[in-house]
Amino acid sequence: MSNAPLTLDRIDIKILDLLQNDGRISNIKLAEAVNLSATAALARVQKLTQEGYILGFEAKLNPELLNANFVVFVEVLLDKTTPNALDDFSDAVKDYPEIVACHMISGGFDFLIKIRCQNMDDYRRISGQILWRLPGLKETRSYPVMEVIKDSSQIKLSAKSK
């Protein structure tokens, strides 16, 4: 990545929007959609990737078909919040694929974790074998999800992003 961030124009914004909606769009279709040559479109995508606007590409999998549609959010309170304790906890959660998201939070607890698993029995196993073995854990509060209303990782883009 370079030191100065790339100034995004309307074509860059359109490319980012098209790619986040369909990461498998062909370069030719992408180029047509933004009125550029295929070579120019590819160069833009490469530049957006180099500058860190595009972090990578991945498939969005169907958790129901893969027996991983049970979601639990967990508030985590640590016994202390020294920089080392926060780092130790942060490093440890990265080792468990069942923990699909972890955010350090300001407020009444220290972290919010999102767990994806098979069912409540599987969550009980994860709670005992994974959560309670994480360093510095003092207290948790669990919130099993009854229904997912919206689950997106897309970012709202506008021409004024930069």
Residue 1 has pLDDT above 70, yes or no: no
Q: How confident is the model at residue 158, as a pLDDT? A: 77
Residue 100 included in any domain: yes
CATH of the domain at 96: 3.30.70.920
Residue 160 has pLDDT above 60, yes or no: no
**pTM assigned to the model:** 0.84
Q: Which residues pair with 36 in a beta bridge?
A: none
Kindly report the backbone phi and psi dihedral angles of residue 121, in degrees, each rounded to the nearest multiple of 5, phi listed first.
Answer: -60, -40
Q: Residues 83, 44: one domain?
A: no
pLDDT tier at 3, thresholds 50, 70, 90: low
Measured distance CA(44)–CA(41) in Å, rounded: 5
Q: What is the pLDDT of residues 10-23, one digit of tens each?
A: 999 999 999 999 99
Q: Residues 44, 79: one domain?
A: no
Q: How confident is the model at residue 119, as a pLDDT? A: 97
Q: How confident is the model at residue 2, as a pLDDT? A: 47
Element (H, E) at 102: strand 99-104
Q: What is the pLDDT of residues 101-156, one digit of tens each?
A: 999 999 999 999 999 999 999 999 999 999 999 999 999 999 999 999 999 989 99
Q: How confident is the model at residue 4, as a pLDDT? A: 56
Token duo for residue 155 = 């970012």
Residue 6 has pLDDT above 90, yes or no: no
Q: Residues 43, 100: one domain?
A: no
Number of domains in the chain: 2
Q: What is the pLDDT of residues 55-86, one digit of tens each?
A: 999 899 999 999 999 999 999 999 999 999 99
* Domain span at 16: 10-50
Count other C-beta atoms under 10 Å from residue 144's C-beta: 13
CATH of the domain at 25: 1.10.10.10
Q: What is the pLDDT of residues 30-56, one digit of tens each?
A: 999 999 999 999 999 999 999 999 999
